[in-house]
Amino acid sequence: MNSQTGTDAMARIYIKDLSAHIGEEVIIKGWVDVRRDQGKMIFFDFRDVTGKVQGVILPPSKTATGDVLARALHTHEVGSKLRSEWVVAVKGRVNQRPERSIQKDKQNGNIELEILDITVLNEAETPAFDISGDGKEIGEEVRLKYRYIDLRRARMQKNIINRHKAALFIRQFYTREGFFEIETPNMTKSTPEGSRDFIVPSRIDQGKFYALPQSPQQYKQIIMASGFERYFQIARCFRDEDSRGDRQPEFTQVDIEMSFVTQEDVMAVNEKLLIELVQTLYPEKKIQQIPFPRLSYKEAMDKYGSDKPDLRTDKNDPNLLAFGWVIDFPFFEKTDTDANGKPGWTFTHNPFSAPKPEYIADLLAAKNIGDIVAAQYDITLNGNEIGGGGIRNHTPEALRKVFEIMGYAPERIEKNFGHMLKALASGTPPHGGLAFGFDRLMMLLQNEPNIREVIPFAKSGEGKDLMMDSPSEVSAEQLRELGIKLSK
């Protein structure tokens, strides 16, 4: 079935560039998107990562003889056996369509590829589902099981390519603003930060465990202690919590930290990022208000009953983006029990935040605890929290006091956070930062209903990788090496 004639001798042309080769013979490589056999003529839509083009196998010329006729008949024979999702190399002539046949609203609508030769690079089994539509009518579990097929559809290709463009834009933006991209470990220490940790057993130190990071929070503060002053990272984060539409066990966070700054400095650079990101990559979208409006936590709760209010004036406009800041969060909230099992306090955002300057004395004295306001801020978009951050406690005394208020015993503070206290005591500058939920941001920019639509290899709602059949059992030998025994 394979025809090798001429398909290896020429350089491949991407489908998006075919209009620049009218009248020429070219080679394209990609997938059979659609096949329409009309007997004497066979029509195809071919696609590669850059787009689609229509091709046609014409009947042999009545005057064709010898090798020309044989090649034409062979090409027709191969074309009659092609099916959707087969991978092919196609040699053809790029022809200008007659004026009456031009499809102006379609990519390559002004040309047609006259197919001269076809090489089948790989046949394909019948796909588990059709990829011509947006796929939302197909059960999510089936789509995730056959993710490599689902990712071929135009909507998913657009989502993932735009995710790349946004990540690239973010890297370039922060670099221009004087930030350094610094990686932090994915195997770290289990500390109480709000959600459950995913833990990794150590083979060498049996009975001890690493934890996957819920965020780079402690490392990025230590980077400030290390003198780099401006850090960013597009970081992988892991939280063992129940999944929902805008959460996954593993997710991506755009993480930044800055030294010698105020809350205003942090908010300003990140507001600038979001404005330029939208204006550059999503010019069809309108930002409702610039500068972004600000609400205190109390104002948001009193007026909207939510700390992530939807500020859109027209909720039916999918291209309207209503960003907003929520500031002045309470530092602590009452909890049924503290770390020692007694009625007490817990943090509202994270324990590393600093109070606003006028409340530092109350924090250090552990008085008026319920009235302390934190230098914390959230960024919201259309009723979703897309990021949050704060100015940090940069002295060991202030951080230690936070844990004391939460009821942590001195030995527990030292065990869990001694490394942070030592870092802060080494001469750490005032600093603060912010983290964006990158998946959630992309979900909203792409007008998708959940983050699984913008994550290449997403987990199911139950946290499973259905394509890889994970989590899965491991061998008895692996467990023995780790010194682990499973209870029945």
Beta bridge partners of 390: 376, 433
Structure confidence at residue 146 as a pLDDT band (50, 70, 90) = very high
Instruction: Kindly report which listed range (6-15, 45-54, 376-385) carries the lowest average pLDDT score.
Output: 6-15
Q: What are the Cα distances from residue 68, in Å, to 60, 71, 257, 480?
A: 9, 5, 67, 68
Q: In which residue are the tokens 């004026």 written?
A: 99
pLDDT at 5: 45
Domains in the chain and their CATH numbers? Answer: 15-122 (2.40.50.140), 141-476 (3.30.930.10)
89: nearest Cα among 59, 113, 58: 113
Type of residue at 386: I
Instruction: Kindly report which listed range (52-66, 411-425, 433-447) carries the lowest average pLDDT score.
Output: 52-66
pLDDT at 349: 84
Phi, psi of 481 (to 5 degrees): -60, -30
Beta bridge partners of 326: 295, 378
pLDDT at 245: 64
Residues near 82 by beta carbon (within 8 Å), at least 6 away in sequence: 32, 35, 44, 88, 118, 120
> 286-287 and 209-211: which strand pairing?
unpaired
Residue pair 244/449 in contact (Cβ under 8 Å)? The answer is: no
Sign of the alpha-carbon torsion through 347, 309, 446, 257: negative
> Average of pLDDT values for 337-351?
80
Query: In this model, does residue 350 exceed pLDDT 90?
Result: no
pTM of this structure: 0.92
Sign of the alpha-carbon torsion through 396, 399, 403, 406: positive
The half-sphere exposure of 79 on its side-chain side, counting CA atoms within 13 A, is: 32
Instruction: Kindly report which listed range (57-61, 118-122, 264-268, 337-341) carries the lowest average pLDDT score.
Output: 337-341
Q: What gap in Å lies between CA 160 and CA 163, rounded to an integer?
A: 5
Query: In this model, does residue 2 exceed pLDDT 70?
Result: no
Q: What are the Cα distances from residue 229, in Å, to 142, 169, 220, 237, 354?
A: 46, 21, 10, 22, 18
Query: In this model, does residue 7 exceed pLDDT 60?
Result: no
> Average of pLDDT values for 441-446?
98
Decide: helix, strand or coil at residue 86.
Answer: coil
Residue pair 403/340 in contact (Cβ under 8 Å)? The answer is: no
Q: What gap in Å lies between CA 436 and CA 166, rounded to an integer?
A: 13
Residue pair 87/127 in contact (Cβ under 8 Å)? The answer is: no
DSSP state of 109: T
> 320-321 and 286-287: which strand pairing?
parallel
Please measure the distance between the N-terminal and C-terminal CA atoms of the chain and give it in whole angstroms.
Answer: 55
Query: In this model, does residue 359 exceed pLDDT 90?
Result: yes
Instruction: Kindly report which listed range (61-65, 229-233, 362-366, 382-386) carries the lowest average pLDDT score.
Output: 61-65
Residues in the chain: 488
DSSP state of 288: S
Number of CB atoms found within 10 A of residue 28's CB: 25
Type of residue at 204: I
Type of residue at 374: A
Residue pair 31/152 in contact (Cβ under 8 Å)? The answer is: yes
Instruction: Kindly report which listed range (35-39, 80-84, 418-422, 440-444) carries the lowest average pLDDT score.
Output: 35-39
Beta bridge partners of 25: 93
Residue pair 169/178 in contact (Cβ under 8 Å)? The answer is: no
Mean pLDDT of the chain: 94
Q: What gap in Å lies between CA 26 and CA 4, rounded to an integer?
A: 14
Over residues 283-340, the pLDDT tens digits come to 999 999 999 999 999 999 999 999 999 999 999 999 999 999 999 999 999 988 766 7
> Average of pLDDT values for 381-386?
97
Calculate what percentage of the chain has a pLDDT beyond 70: 97
In terms of C-beta density within 10 A (0-12 exposed, 13-18 middle, 19 or more buried), how is residue 330 classed? middle
pLDDT at 70: 87
Q: In which residue are the tokens 């990022």 written?
A: 273
Residue pair 389/266 in contact (Cβ under 8 Å)? The answer is: yes
pLDDT at 8: 58
Q: Which residues of 415-454 are buried (b: 16+ CB within 10 A; e: fewer)?
A: ebbeebbebbeeebebbbbbbbbbbbbbbbbbebebbbbb
